[in-house]
A = this chain, B = another copy of it.
Amino acid sequence: MTVTERMAELGIHLPDPAKPVGSYVPAIQAGSLVVTSGQLPMREGMLVCAGKVGLDVTLEQASAGAGIAVTNALAAAAAVVGGIERIKRVVRVCVYVNSAPGFTDQPKVANGASDLLVKIFGDNGRHARSAVGVSELPLNAAVELDLMVQVAV
């Protein structure tokens, strides 16, 4: 089964990649590596998961938000390399969680992204991951993440 077929089966639709809106771009390829910009839980241009996790936002909502953000990251990486089938392996995800004081379940939030990557790519979706709690994020997003993937060259 191709990645595209697996995504269809899972009902995951790859969004249009974000347009570059300044001096930075959604993703860059350097050799066989592609790194993305920090991605937020945006859907059709709207932030769909805002606030501090553990206070304004539940763990479940934040985990779903991480899934949306990682889908945006995949769209950004795929656009740079000519399609998601070109992605050979996920290398690394770094997840920043907008954390209420005392919230220490950042890994459970990050699982919303990590589990989706494995559903889509199978064992090639397993990755190194860092998950940390931060005090503020752009637009008051509940979660931000960036992705590094490997492509065949």
Contact = CB atoms under 8 A, between A and B. Distances in A.
Contacts of A126: 20, 23-25, 28
Interface string A109-120: 011001101100
B38 A132 contact: yes
A22 B115 contact: yes
B111 A150 contact: no
Given A117-B23, A140-B104, A28 B135 contact: no
Interface in A34-74: 35-38
Interface of A: 20, 22-28, 30-33, 35-38, 89, 91-94, 96-97, 99, 101-107, 110-111, 114-115, 117-118, 125-140, 144, 146, 148, 150
